[in-house]
């Protein structure tokens, strides 16, 4: 499983390196978005069978009446933890350099497949959930 994780990351980094000078930020942004959506969907599915998973929530009311509270809640619950894990596993001590030598690149195909699937799955899950009722 970790091999697949690293292969997707290497594919993401190598495809971003070719096109951008700020490849670190962009690769981290896209992978964090995909991974946090996957965590949200996993918790949603687990919540269908084990209701205590749906209680993974915090109250943030720094900006009353605005959408900023939802953004902050997303960042605290999903964005920052995923970012910290990815930083530790990929970027800490420049580990990505070793990974780029170890794993082959797939011209962005692994990353693109993972990213698009991560964006599509929430819509499929929500559709199935609402039409099931």
**Three-state DSSP class for 64?**
coil
Residue with tokens 């205590």: 52
17, 2, 22: which is closest to 108 by C-alpha? 17
CB count, 10 Å around CB of 114? 22
Contacts of 58 (CB under 8 A, 6+ apart): 73, 76, 77
pTM of this structure: 0.83
Confidence of residue 58 (pLDDT cuts 50, 70, 90): confident
- Cα–Cα distance list, 130 to 37, 100, 124, 125, 133 (Å): 18, 42, 10, 9, 6
* Tens of pLDDT, residues 82-106: 999 999 999 999 999 999 999 999 9
């Amino acid at each position: 499983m970790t091999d697949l994780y690293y292969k997707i990351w290497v594919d993401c980094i190598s495809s971003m390196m070719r096109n951008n000078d700020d490849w670190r930020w962009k690769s981290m942004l896209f992978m964090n978005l995909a991974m946090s959506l996957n965590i949200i969907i996993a918790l949603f599915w687990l919540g269908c069978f084990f209701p205590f998973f749906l209680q993974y929530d915090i109250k943030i009311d720094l900006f009353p009446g605005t959408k900023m509270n939802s953004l902050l809640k997303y960042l605290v619950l999903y964005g920052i933890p995923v970012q910290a894990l990815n930083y530790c596993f990929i970027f800490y001590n420049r580990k990505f350099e070793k990974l780029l030598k170890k794993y082959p690149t797939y011209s962005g195909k692994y990353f693109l497949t993972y990213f698009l699937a991560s964006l599509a799955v929430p819509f499929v899950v929500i559709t199935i959930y609402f039409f099931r009722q």
